[in-house]
Chains A and B, each alone.
Chain A
Amino acid sequence: MNDGILGNVLAAFMPALLLDLHGNLLYVNENASKLLNLRERDDPPDRYSEPTHYDHIIGSRTGMYWPVISRLPAMGLPACVNMRCGERRIQWQLTRADKHYLLTGSETVYIEGTNLFDHLPFGLQQFTDNGIHIRSNRFQDGIWNGLDLAPAQPGYNFFDEPLFLETGLTAILEDTLNTGQTTCRNILLGYRSHTGNNITRILPAWYEAITFTFAVQEERQLFLMLRDITTQQLSTMQLEKSARLLDLIIEHLPVGYIQFDHFGFIRRINQAQREFFQYRGGLEETHYNIMNDPFARLYGLDEIFQQVMLNNEVLRLEKLVDFSRDMQWTGQDREIWLDLTIFPLQDPVDKEQIVVMLVNDITDSKLESQMRNQLQRNTEQLRLFFDAVDMGYARMEQDGTFSFVNRKAEEMAGRSIEPGSNIHQLIPELGLEAAFELRFTAALTSGLSESFSEYFPNWEKWYDFMISPMKDGSVSVFVHDITDSRNMQRDLSRVNRELNKLNRSLVNQNQQLEEFAHITSHNLRAPIANLKALMQMYMDSVITDEKEQYLSLLQEVILKIDETLNDLVDVVQIRKDFNVEREELRFTERLQHVKDVLLVDIEKSGIRLTTSFEAAPVLMFPRVYLDSIFQNLITNAIRYRTDERIPCLHLESRREGSLIILTAEDNGVGIDMERFGSKLFGFRKTFHKNKDAKGLGLFITKTQVEAMGGSIRAESTPGQGTKFIITFKTE
């Protein structure tokens, strides 16, 4: 009965199930039914509403099925199965009792505070030293779940888990087993998918794994602590990545990078800097210090360094450094313009002050900018020059768009000219009608310069142009104001003409003076000498007859002198009328007039007059002179005719350029030109015995022709005839 009482007591405390030999549920007490969520009953359970077999109640929930567990007791092994029942962990123990099996549950023995264990913020796994699961906290279960592992399953052995072998977890477990030491390691246990915002991410699952051994009830047990460090791990890796990236960036910066510590020692040089300055190496090892390196001090780099350090400020400066003066650190041996940026930094790790110097070679751009400055200065000078010259200058595109115009050109055009404006629109004076347009096109077509002058009535200016197509496709136009020189040229040629005229008249007058001297000596001295002689003779004579004879001779001489003087007066008159008025005369008309005057002489001589004035019918000449010339020519032809043939005179006029030629050709006796040519046109020169000859006619003719700027000459063959050729100027 005691057993019965004990049984009741036990039944009241212990959860218990009674099974038949096949595992069918026969009885379940109140405690057990609560744990397993079964209805308490005495009767065989309702097969349709309740699970009635061990496998249904426990086997399927633990993986430990009836065929396995029911054999364990016979093998002398403890037939136990652990199972979570609500908030509690129950170990069910199977015991054989005659023809029944008894399944009793006992709450698993925990370390103090089940709640604490389960609520630890990291996973804790407890297992036997041969790798059999003992228990794990809830956090740990979550981890295993995530990895699709079920260590609580009977027969599972941690040491056999491939994932643990792979990740190195097995190794640290063995390590702990062997040494008894606590071992710690970060392990990537696998990957997890996270879903958020409709995006599923596969992220690594990093854990800090700590293993230690601990004796529980004199049994050595292994403990594994897993702490999720994925976030830290990822950020650490991110940090490392960033650092590496930064490192790479610095190393491959296209500018030189030099890092100093706060003493001025070089700590780091990037590749660009090494290559660029052709470092000979050993800078880091030899403790280069910018504060005491002579080359650095030469260029005041030590002071700059100090300034940056002390004032904690960024400095940027350009420096011309002659690297040929350093023999120690660099193979660079030329002058280089450096663009230096120096700034202080605090090392993020050790919080030390460091200084970074960025070095850039700007020699090329410096030279370029110097050249650009020079070029700009040159351009300005050129501009000044073009403004200073007294010549218009414009440069334009082929379509006439101005790109540069100097001040003078603007003055010439009488308007301001902006670059970009077009010559054709802006200066219509140069378009269409003007030669400029044609020459411009011609210059573009030929590619050669065109030079020309043009008069602009609007401006009252003469401009001299040169249009030069340039190699770069633009066109340069040079304009020179030649109005003054044109006017001067005009004035000059007018003055010149007047001078020529004056000179001609002076020469003429001089010749006349000489002729007059000659005439006076020959034609006046001779009769006066006679007068003188006759007077002497008259005075000396005492005989009346003689005296009378002398007086009559005297009278004769005086008459002769008078005649000569009258002739001279005529000649002088012609010469005095230097500017006698010209009029338009028709040869035919004037000849007819003269023929009327000489009618008797012409009739008597029977001379035949023929004319040919068609080629030049008109002459601008003083009428009296032309009449006189015709009269002399006809008279001469009559006077020096020959009896051997019918006398003829042919008069002809023709034009030769600006000259009019009048010829008079007779068939008379002719003149021995070799002998008498020089006397032909002389005053009172005769060279034949004809008593009518006074030697005056041709002299007068010559005087009249020459007075009007013309000339006269003669051609003759003695015995055949004479030809007089008179040349008249038409202007």
Chain B
Amino acid sequence: MQLLKMIFIVDDDPIHQQIANIMIRRQGIGENVRAFSDAQDVLDYLRQYHYEPDLLPDLILLDLNMPVMDGWEFLNDYAGFYQNLSKQIGIFVLTSSIDDKDRKKVDNYSFVKGYLTKPLSNEIITKLQES
């Protein structure tokens, strides 16, 4: 089992951010969990440190429904530069939407590792680690 050094939570819901943070840390799969309310901030960060693998996250939990920049915009932008990143980042969509359309749409992004629906649970977090 590999310890995930850095995990990004991208979600505008502060409660969810806290829940995710707590659950991940309690599960002990990662120590450094950072939460972002604005997806644009994440993109800026990745671009800034794309050549520094130690500063790049291992995992991103991405919400789809967000103000200003939503998950889709993020994915579209990310698709344009993720191959330049010096580290392979695992991206999971974590959403409250159970809409099949959304699930299928996500399948188009090959670099997204999975489509997860809220709420988070220990089982889901364990799976994240295994991936």
Contact = CB atoms under 8 A, between A and B. Distances in A.
Contacts of A537: 19, 22-23, 26
Interface centre among B13, B19, B65, B73 (most CB of A within 10 A): B19
A521 B97 contact: yes
Nearest to A524: B96
A538 B24 CA distance: 15
A693 B12 CA distance: 13
Interface residues of A, number: 26
Given A530-B118, A689-B38, A522 B96 contact: yes
A533 B19 contact: yes
A695 B122 CA distance: 33
A688 interface: yes
Given A556-B15, A557-B15, A686-B67, A533 B119 contact: yes
B3 interface: no
B68 A526 contact: no
B112 interface: no
B86 interface: no
A526 B67 contact: no
B107 to A, nearest CB: 19
Contacts of B16: 526, 529-530
A437 B94 CA distance: 81
Given A526-B118, A529-B118, A685-B67, A521 B98 contact: yes
Interface string A494-518: 0000000000000000000000001
A530 to B, nearest CB: 5
Contact of A533 (B68, B73, B121): B121
A452 interface: no
B120 interface: yes
Interface string B20-38: 0011001000000000001
B130 interface: no
B18 interface: yes
Interface in A675-729: 675, 685-689, 693, 695
A686 B38 CA distance: 12
B44 interface: no
B23 A533 contact: yes
Contact of B67 (A532, A536, A560, A687): A687
B118 A689 contact: no
B67 A695 contact: yes
A560 B16 CA distance: 13
Nearest to B19: A533
Nearest to A521: B97
Contacts of A534: 15, 19
Contact of A522 (B15, B18, B65): B65
Interface string A525-548: 111011011101100100000000
A237 interface: no
A537 to B, nearest CB: 6
A477 B130 CA distance: 94
A718 B73 CA distance: 19
B66 to A, nearest CB: 9
Contacts of A532: 119
Contact of B96 (A521, A540, A693): A521
A553 B65 CA distance: 21
B119 A530 contact: yes
A693 B121 CA distance: 31
A688 B16 CA distance: 20
A727 B16 CA distance: 40
Indicate the size class of the contact surface on chain B.
Answer: 20 to 34
A707 B73 CA distance: 32
Nearest to B13: A526
Contacts of A695: 67
B15 A530 contact: yes
Contacts of B22: 537
Contact of A529 (B26, B38, B119): B119
A661 to B, nearest CB: 30
A521 B118 contact: no
Interface string B32-70: 000000100000000000000000000000000101100
Contact of B97 (A522, A675, A688): A522
Contacts of A693: 67
B24 to A, nearest CB: 12
Contacts of B18: 553
A429 to B, nearest CB: 67
Interface centre among B15, B16, B73 (most CB of A within 10 A): B15
Contacts of B23: 533, 537
Given A526-B96, A530-B13, A530-B118, A688 B67 contact: yes
A525 B98 contact: yes
Nearest to A693: B67
A553 B19 contact: yes
B53 to A, nearest CB: 31
Nearest to A534: B19
A557 B122 CA distance: 20
B67 A553 contact: no
Contacts of B119: 529-530, 532-533, 536
Interface in A410-465: none
A540 B121 CA distance: 11
Given A521-B99, A529-B96, A687 B121 contact: no
Contacts of A522: 65, 96-97
Contacts of A536: 119, 121-122
Interface string B79-105: 000000000000000001111000000
A264 B118 CA distance: 132
Nearest to B99: A521
A529 B97 CA distance: 11
B104 to A, nearest CB: 15
Contacts of B99: 518, 521
B20 to A, nearest CB: 8
Contacts of A529: 16, 96, 117-119
Nearest to B102: A521
A543 to B, nearest CB: 10
Contacts of A530: 13, 15-16, 19, 118-119
In order of increasing CB-CB distance, the 5 nearest A-B pairs are A529-B118, A533-B119, A526-B96, A529-B119, A686-B67
9 contacts: A521-B99, A522-B97, A525-B97, A525-B118, A529-B119, A533-B23, A540-B122, A560-B15, A688-B68
Interface of A: 518, 521-522, 525-527, 529-530, 532-534, 536-537, 540, 553, 556-557, 560, 675, 685-689, 693, 695
Given A525-B98, A526-B65, A529-B118, 16 more contacts: A518-B99, A521-B98, A521-B99, A522-B65, A526-B13, A526-B96, A526-B118, A530-B13, A530-B16, A533-B23, A533-B118, A533-B121, A540-B122, A553-B19, A685-B67, A689-B68
